[in-house]
Every structure is written in structure tokens, then in C-alpha cells.
Amino acid sequence: MALDYEPKIVGFLCNWCSYAGADLAGTSRTTYPANVRIIRVPCSGRVDPLFVVKAFQLGADGVLISGCHVGDCHYNEGNFHTRRRFVLLRPFLDYLGTEKERFRLEWVSASEGKKFSQLVSEFTETLKRIGPRKT
Amino acid sequence: MINEIRNKAKELLEKKRVECVIGYERATDGLTARPAFIYDPSEVDRLIFDETCVHNLSRFLIDKKHKATAIVAKPCDSRGINLLLNESQLKRENLFIIGVVCSGVKKVRFNQIEDSLQNKCQYCPQHVPSVYDFLVGEPVTETASRNYAEVTAIEDMTSADRKLFWAEHFDRCIRCYGCRQVCMGCYCYECFVDELDPLWAGIRIASSENRMWNTMRAFHLAGRCISCGECERVCPVNIPLMLLNRKLEKDTVHLFDFEPGINAETTPPFATFKKGEDLGISK
């Protein structure tokens, strides 16, 4: 593995919590790796499994779905649906050869800028350890 | 057995209870079966039922949504009907289901009937249809339990081996979409793969596009696939598609305690949720 390998992470962040959380990380000048490419979605429930599979197909090393904590969804129940989809999709992708570690679902609220930066750092480290995804 | 089906079909057509009876007839090769659509009571003698009747006929009901139709259903077909009823694709009052007690159907290859049972029948725990109006054959008590040995075998491989295993299979895919056309769960007016903008799966010949198609086809049937094995049967390049479907079935049963097609009332797992459920990710 090349030493200068920088993984690409596609982050689907919910508009109401995690996107604001990522924004807070920025405004409070917390540094986090620039490996994450953020896509703002109205709710984590908007993330169709199709998006995740497509991201992996187009060369993402990791996919992060992040939304409001369970029970805090702006649309009341969006993240409950996300959760159900995620628990089925992750083992399925693993079954097809995309390691479990490459796909994460994390709850980050608008006040958790620190948590977001730690999350991205940790995820990037994990992906660097696993190495590039061979398609 | 066959006389019971024929008499019932005749009775239904003569009394105008149904417009059409969907069943099986002998194909022109004299060996295999093919789907038959009987509209005239005088033609009911065309109907047959034996171990060559491999097709899942519930697919044809989607085109007959608003017409009174009778159908000959094996246990797997009956699960398909339950799925369609559950998803409000059919009206129960328009249907007359002639259930058949089934002990498995034979493999058919190159128009030859082989001696062994279809793969799906080897792990199928069901012999009596889940839903029927009229039952043909002697009801038996179900004894077999579900077993996912071949799925576990793949789960036990290393990640790299699994990737290789599937790459070898998906590389053969010619994307004829036969698996979709034959599936009674794939009734979308526009399949994601036919969309041009966004182009979810491109038309170029590439293993990543094949992989995209096969991943999403299986995942769209997560918690919906009733294991009739039709996709695998029609696949011209013999991709073990049931390994994908059964992995999802195994997880659905384990996580959500849901078996598709067993009845038409339980809400499908992706249409509902439980607030306090612990799916192994709660923090």
C-alpha cells in the first residue's frame, strides 16, 4: 500500500443535525481530515441503498451515513427507517465483498462538532489501515 | 389430482366465477410444462400438474389485477400471491386460488427433465400452500425447518475470497434482466436500471455495472423475496442468485422476525419500525 494513500469517504449528512454538526466543527475550528466528501440530504432516511452502492461503484473507499440521534429526527421517524435499511445493507455488502468497516451509520447532532471531527478522523484511520478498495 | 384441478377450473369458468384460469399445460416438446391461460371451459383438459411444472405463475396475476382470475398455485407461488396481496397489488376477491400440495419439482435443463429436485425445493420447508380457496392433494404436516448452510459457507469465507467469488459470477452476467422479468416482486413500472437520468447502472459491459445491477436487484427484494427460485432458474449464465436472496432472507428473519409470503397481513419490515428495537447498532 502506498504511504500517501488517502481514502475517499462519501458522507451523506442530514440537513438538520449532522450537516450542522459538521458546520459547527468548521466554525469552531476543529480540524478533521479532508477525506470526507459531504453530500447534504434532507434526512438520513433519504439515503436510498442505491446511493450507497453507487458510491462504492464509483470508487468510494468508505460511505458514512449520519443523521439525528434516534428519536430526534426532524421528520419524526426518518432515521428509524434508515436504521432498518442499514442493518440489512451492511451485512449484505459485506457478503458481496465490501468490508463491514467501510460502511458506517453514526448519529451526530447539531451540537456535536467535536464528535463529528473525531468520527471522520477515526473512519479515515480505519480506511487507511484496510487499504484501497479493489473493484 | 389432475381431474380435481380440471373439474374445478371447468366449474369456475362455466359459472363465470372467473374469466381466466392460469395453470400449466404440456409444452410442444411433449416433456416440459408451460404456463396455460384457459378462457374456455371446453379447453380445461389442456391443464396438467406434475413435477415438471416449475414456473411461478403468480407473476401473471399482476396483468390481471382487475379481472377475476383463478390460478393453480404451488406453495412457493402461494407465497408470491401473499406478497402481492400484502403490497396491495391484487384484490383477494378477484382471485380464486387452486392450491396444490407439492413435494418439489424437477430440474429442467436443455428441455430434459433431470432426476433431482430444483435447488429451491431442496431447502423449501413448505408443502401446503399458505393461501388457497380449494386444495388439491392430501395436506401433510410440515416437518422440515429452514437451513441456510450454503449461505453460511460463503459468510465464513474471507472478504477477499467472497469478492472474488462474486466477481466470477457477476462477470458472466449479460444483463438480460430475465431475473427481473420472471420475478413477481419486480412489478415497478420503471425499474431503477431502466432510468437514464440518473444512470444507476450504465449500459457498458463492465463488471462494476453488473455488480451494481445484481446488488440492487437483490436488495430491492430484501424482505420481499419468497424464495421461489425463478430468477436462478431462468438465468442463462447460471449465476447463483438465490445465494443473494437467501442471505437477505436469513438476515430479515433474524433481525425482524419476518418471513415474506407466510401471510398477507404482517406489515413488511421496511414499511414499519419499532422505536425501541435493538438492531445491534444502538448507541
Which sequence spans correspond to the domains of chain B?
A: 2-136, 149-270
**A135 assigned to some structural domain:** no
**A2 assigned to some structural domain:** no
Q: Is the dihedral of CA A24, A26, A28, A30 positive or negative?
A: positive
Q: Do B279 and A84 touch (CB under 8 A)?
A: yes
Domain with residue A104: its CATH number is 3.40.50
- Bridge pairing between strands B106-109 and B47-48: unpaired
Cα separation of A60 and B208, whole Å? Answer: 13
Disruptive mutation site among A75, A80, A84 for chain B (greatest number of B CBs within 10 Å) = A84
Q: Output helix, strand, coil percentages for chain A, rounded to the nearest 5.
A: 45, 15, 40
Q: Is the dihedral of CA B78, B79, B85, B90 positive or negative?
A: negative
Q: Do B163 and A54 touch (CB under 8 A)?
A: no
Can you state the angle between helices B241-256 and A78-95, rounded to 10 degrees? 140
pLDDT (tens digit, 9 = 90+) per residue, B78-99? 999 999 999 999 999 999 999 9
DSSP E strands in chain B: the ranges are 20-26, 33-38, 47-48, 69-73, 95-100, 106-109, 112-117, 134-136
Does A97 contact chain B (CB < 8 Å)? yes
Kindly tell me if the per-residue pLDDT of A2 is higher than 70: no
Min Cα separation A61/chain B (Å)? 15
Q: What is the pLDDT of residue A3?
A: 65
Are A43 and A83 contacting, i.e. CB atoms less than 8 angstroms apart?
no
Rounded alpha-carbon distances, angstroms, from residue B221 to A13, A118, B215: 26, 36, 10
Q: Is the dihedral of CA B174, B179, B180, B181 positive or negative?
A: positive
pLDDT (tens digit, 9 = 90+) per residue, B106-147? 888 777 888 888 888 888 888 899 999 999 988 777 766 778
pLDDT (tens digit, 9 = 90+) per residue, B192-215? 999 998 899 988 888 899 999 999
Residue A121: domain span = 9-130
Chain B residue with minimum CA distance to A45: B270
**A76 assigned to some structural domain:** yes
Cα separation of B80 and B61, whole Å? Answer: 10
**Which residues of chain A make contact with B215, given a CB cutoff of 8 A?**
53, 92-93, 96
Q: Is the dihedral of CA B244, B249, B250, B251 positive or negative?
A: positive
In the stretch 37-56 of chain A, residues with CB closer than 8 A to chain B read 49-50, 53-54
Smallest Cβ distance to A97: which of B162, B223, B252? B162
Q: Do A92 and B216 touch (CB under 8 A)?
A: no
State whether ipTM is beyond 0.95: no
Mean pLDDT of B212-238: 93
Per the structure, the count of domains in chain A is 1
Q: Is the dihedral of CA A77, A80, A84, A85 positive or negative?
A: positive
Smallest Cβ distance to B208: which of A57, A96, A99? A57
Q: Which residues are bridge partners to A9 per DSSP?
A: A36, A62
